């Protein structure tokens, strides 16, 4: 296998490897580092002995991600305030034509699901990602993790029950989320508390991630009243040289807020029954660098 062919094979599988690593780790930079390490392993391997490049690369990437996950978990224990995954720009529309498959991929990378995955053990998380997001057979997951098929089935069952018990049960219609996001943005910008209260579910919650490096609530805000008043206060303080653009992150419609040419924040809404159930705001500048490029 020539070097050019080896590169072509790796690049063919790069989106899959990045998708696995990001779902495992919740940070784009960490996922990219893992994929780069996988490339180094691939380029140094005796590829004549590799019968199934895709399986080999997924196995290497998953194991590297597991190693890195242990370091990330210890880092997150000292995190200031609520933690949210780094926004991950997604666009499944051009690459995934099947609507059901697109929904599965979008759900598996959503902010709400990735937060729940943080509470799984590393092995449970690996099994859940490979099985639920990418549909790997139990036997293949066992080969990736050096576990028996029976052990993988047990891990998958525990992980699935854990996620189902804790994940928000929102059936999000993309068009409805976009429409409500635009109305929500207009109400917040206008300082219209009444309009915000009409859009927010009574038991809505707001999760703000700043990592202690920007202004954001250090605890999750509960109730429409608390959220509405907080957002009105933010609107009154204003953002210098404010602009915004719509983006798709983590499989859903979101808003990137800019201060000049610098990313100030990303916010995304979870919507159900025509009301906003959750507001996610990411303001940690370390997690926003790639979005304003």
Dihedral (Cα; 49, 30, 208, 192), 10-degree rounding: -80
Tell the residue number behind the tokens 């609107």, with chain if given.
235
Closest CA to 250 of 220, 274, 282, 228: 282
Tokens of 250: 């983590």
What is the spatial distance between Cα 200 and Cα 68, in angstroms, rounded to a whole number? 38
The residues near 151 (Cβ < 8 Å, ≥ 6 apart) are: 142
Give residue 145's pLDDT: 96
Q: What is the DSSP letter of 258?
A: E
Give residue 40's pLDDT: 96
Task: Evaluate whether 288 touches 203 at the Cβ level (below 8 Å).
Answer: no
What is the spatial distance between Cα 235 and Cα 156, in angstroms, rounded to a whole number? 44
- Is the domain spanning 174-292 CATH 3.10.450.50? The answer is yes
Q: pLDDT: is 68 or 79 the higher one?
A: 68
The pTM (predicted TM-score) of the whole model is 0.85
Tell the residue number behind the tokens 């660098």, with chain if given.
289
- Is the domain spanning 1-77 CATH 2.30.29? The answer is no
Domain ranges of the chain: 1-77, 174-292
Q: CB neighbours (10 Å) of residue 271?
A: 25
The arithmetic mean of pLDDT across residues 36-42, rounded, is 96
Collapsing DSSP to helix, strand or coil, 230 comes out as helix
Q: What is the DSSP letter of 220?
A: -
Percentage of the chain beyond pLDDT 70 is 89
Q: Same CATH topology for 1-77 and 174-292?
A: no
């Amino acid at each position: 296998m020539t070097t050019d062919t080896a590169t072509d094979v790796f690049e063919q599988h790069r989106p899959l490897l990045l998708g696995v690593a990001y779902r495992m780790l919740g940070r784009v930079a960490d996922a990219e580092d893992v994929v780069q390490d996988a490339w180094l392993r691939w380029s140094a391997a005796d590829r004549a002995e590799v019968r199934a490049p895709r399986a080999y690369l997924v196995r290497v990437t998953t194991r590297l991600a597991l190693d890195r996950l242990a370091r990330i978990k210890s880092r997150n224990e000292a995190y200031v305030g609520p933690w949210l995954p780094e926004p991950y720009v997604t666009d499944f529309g051009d690459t995934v034509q099947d609507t059901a498959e697109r929904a599965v991929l979008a759900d598996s990378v959503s902010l709400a699901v990735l937060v729940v995955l943080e509470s799984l053990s590393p092995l449970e998380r690996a099994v859940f990602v490979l099985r639920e997001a990418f549909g790997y057979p139990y036997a293949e997951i066992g080969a990736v993790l050096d576990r028996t098929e029976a052990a993988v089935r047990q891990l998958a069952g525990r992980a699935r029950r854990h996620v189902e018990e804790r994940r928000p049960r929102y059936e999000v219609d993309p068009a409805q989320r976009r429409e409500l996001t635009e109305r929500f943005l207009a109400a917040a910008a206008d300082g219209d508390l009444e309009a915000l209260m009409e859009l927010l579910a009574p038991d809505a919650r707001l999760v703000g991630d700043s990592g202690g490096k920007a202004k954001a609530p250090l605890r999750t805000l509960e109730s429409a009243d608390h959220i509405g008043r907080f957002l009105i206060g933010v609107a009154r303080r204003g953002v210098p040289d404010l602009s915004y653009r719509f983006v798709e992150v983590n499989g859903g419609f979101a808003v990137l807020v800019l201060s000049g040419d610098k990313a100030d924040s990303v916010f995304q809404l979870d919507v159900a029954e025509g009301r906003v159930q959750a507001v996610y705001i990411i303001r940690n500048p370390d997690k926003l660098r790639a979005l304003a490029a």
